[in-house]
Amino acid sequence: MRPAPAATDSTIGWGSSALRRATLTLAISQLVSWGVLFYGFAVAAPAITDDTGWSDGVVSGAFALGLLIAGVGAPPIARALARFDPRLVLTTGSIVGMLGVLTFATAPNPVVLYLAWIVIGGAMAATLYEPAMAVLVALDPARRHRTLAVVTVAGGLASTVFAPLAGWLVAALGWRHALAVLGVGGGVVTAVLHAVVLPSAHAHRTETQVAHVPAPPVDKPLRLMRSAVLFEQAAMIATTAYLISMLVDRGVEIGVASAALGVMGLGKVAGRLLLLGPIGRRSLTTLATMCTVAQLVGLALPLAVTGTGMLVATMFVVGAASGATTVLRPLIVVELVGAAPFAATNARLQRASTVARAAAPLALGVAATGLGWPAAWVGCLTAFAVAGERYVALGRSVGTTEHSRPVGKR
C-alpha cells in the first residue's frame, strides 16, 4: 500500500486560496450540520419522551436507525463524490436533512418518527465528516493534517454552540417547534454554503489533487482498525446521545447536564488543536489509545461524582480525547492506504461499524430502562476498553507488515 504524501516545507500554509475557502466553508457546514442533525436529538430526547410518552427505547431506536442508514449510505456517497460534483452531493444532503428534521418535528407517532430518521440518516451520510474529509483529502492530501484539523475543530464546537441553543429553544418553544427552527435554519445555511460558497474542484491546483479509486483488499492492519473504530464509535455515539439523560437520572439539573455536553465541545476543539503541535508528532496509534483510555476514565467518573465543578472539568477532558480521536482515525486510514483510496476505504470502515454504531444508542436506552443507568453505562465503558486494546494491537501490527512506513510517521 502506498502512503499518502508527507508534509514538507513545500506544503506549509494553505497552498491556494481555493483550498482555504473550501476548508473554511466545510468547517462552518460541519458546525451547523452536527449541531442540527446530531445534537438536536441529544438535547430534545428527554422532552420527547416526557411529552409523547414514548419510551427511551423507542426514541433511541429512531436515532439508531438514522445512524444505520448513515453507515450503509457511506459507500454510495463515496462513489457519488467520485462521479459527480461534490457541491451537488453535499447540497442534496443539506436539503434532505432539512426535510427529515421537519418530519421528525411533526411526527405524530413512532412510525413517522422512524421514517423521519431514515431520511435524516441519508442526510448524515452526505453531509457529516466523511464526505467533507474525502473532498479535502482529494484536493490536497499533503495538507490533510491542517484541513482535517480545521474542519473537525469546527465540528467539535457544534455541541458548545447548539446544545445550549437547542436547550433554550426546547424550553422556550417546545421540542417540536425547536426542531423545526433548527431544521429549516440549518438546512438553508448549509445548502447555500455547499451550493454557492464552496469552490469547484476546477478552482484548485490540479497538481495537488488525486482521483478517487476503489478501496484496497482488507489486510490485518485494516481489520484491527475496523474493530477499533467499531467499538470506539459505538461507545462514543451512545454516551454522547444519552449523556444528558444519564446525568439527569443521577440527580444533575438539566441545565448543568446541557452545559456539561456543551463543555465537551470546547474540549474537542482543544484536543484537535493539540494535534497540530508537538504532541501530534507522536505515533498516531499511541495517541488513539491514550484518547480512548481518557474517554473511558472520564465517562466513568460521573457514576461516582456529580459535583458541577468536577463534572465540567471531566467532560472537558473527555471532549478533548474524543475530539483528537476524530482527527486521528482518518489520518491513520490515509497513512495505511494512501490518499486516492481514502474515501472508499473510510466509507467501508464506516459501513463495517454501522450495526454497532446504530445499535449502541438503542442498546443503551433499552439497558437503561431495564437495568438502570449505572449498569448500562458500564457496557459503554467496556467498549472503550476493547477499542483501546485494538489500537495497541494495530500499532504493533503495522511494524511487522509490508506497509512502507509506520503509522505514526509524518
**In the 3-class helix/strand/coil scheme, how is 273-302 assigned residue by residue?**
HHCCCHHHHCCHHHHHHHHHHHHHHHHHHH
207, pLDDT greater than 70: no
* Mean pLDDT computed over every residue of the chain: 86
| pLDDT attached to residue 403 | 44
Confidence of residue 9 (pLDDT cuts 50, 70, 90): very low
Tell if the pTM clears 0.85, that is, is over it.
no
Mean pLDDT of 285-290: 93
Using an 8 Å Cβ cutoff, are 271 and 322 in contact?
yes
Cα–Cα distance between 114 and 333 in angstroms, integer?
A: 33
What residue type is assigned to position 192 of the chain?
V
Query: DSSP per residue over 215-256, as a string?
Result: PPPP-HHHHHHHHHHHHHHHHHHHHHHHHHHHHHHTT--HHH
Q: Provide CB contacts within 8 A for 120, sequence distance 6+.
A: 37, 66, 69, 97, 100, 101, 104
Mean pLDDT of 235-260: 87
Mean pLDDT of 329-349: 86
Confidence of residue 273 (pLDDT cuts 50, 70, 90): confident
201, pLDDT greater than 80: no
Q: Residue 370 half-sphere exposure, CB side, CA atoms within 13 Å?
A: 7
Q: Which of 84-93, 304-313, 321-330 reaches the highest mean pLDDT?
A: 84-93
Using an 8 Å Cβ cutoff, are 361 and 379 in contact?
no
16, pLDDT greater than 70: yes
Measured in whole angstroms, how far is the alpha carbon of residue 360 from the centre of its chain?
15
Confidence of residue 306 (pLDDT cuts 50, 70, 90): confident
25, pLDDT greater than 80: yes
157, pLDDT greater than 90: no
Residue 33: closest CA among 107, 90, 80: 90
401, pLDDT greater than 70: no
Domain spans of the chain? 16-398
Q: Provide CB contacts within 8 A for 143, sequence distance 6+.
A: 7, 11, 14, 15, 19, 208
Could you tell me the three cell numbers for 105?
418535528
Confidence of residue 2 (pLDDT cuts 50, 70, 90): very low
Confidence of residue 10 (pLDDT cuts 50, 70, 90): very low
242, pLDDT greater than 70: yes
222, pLDDT greater than 50: yes
DSSP state of 141: G
Mean pLDDT of 307-336: 90
Residue range 102-122, pLDDT digits in tens: 999 999 999 999 999 999 999
Residue 325: closest CA among 288, 358, 274: 288
| pLDDT attached to residue 14 | 66
The full length of the chain comes to: 410
Mean pLDDT of 371-385: 92
Could you tell me the three cell numbers for 22?
473550501
| pLDDT attached to residue 100 | 97
356, pLDDT greater than 80: no
User: Helix, strand or coil for residue 14?
Assistant: coil
Q: Provide CB contacts within 8 A for 203, sequence distance 6+.
A: 18
Using an 8 Å Cβ cutoff, are 328 and 291 in contact?
yes
What residue type is assigned to position 385 of the chain?
A
Mean pLDDT of 233-262: 87
Residue range 47-61, pLDDT digits in tens: 999 999 998 888 988
Q: Which CATH number fits domain 16-398: 1.20.1250.20, 1.10.3720.10, 3.40.50.1470, 3.30.110.40?
A: 1.20.1250.20
Q: What Rg, from alpha-carbon coordinates, does the chain have?
A: 20
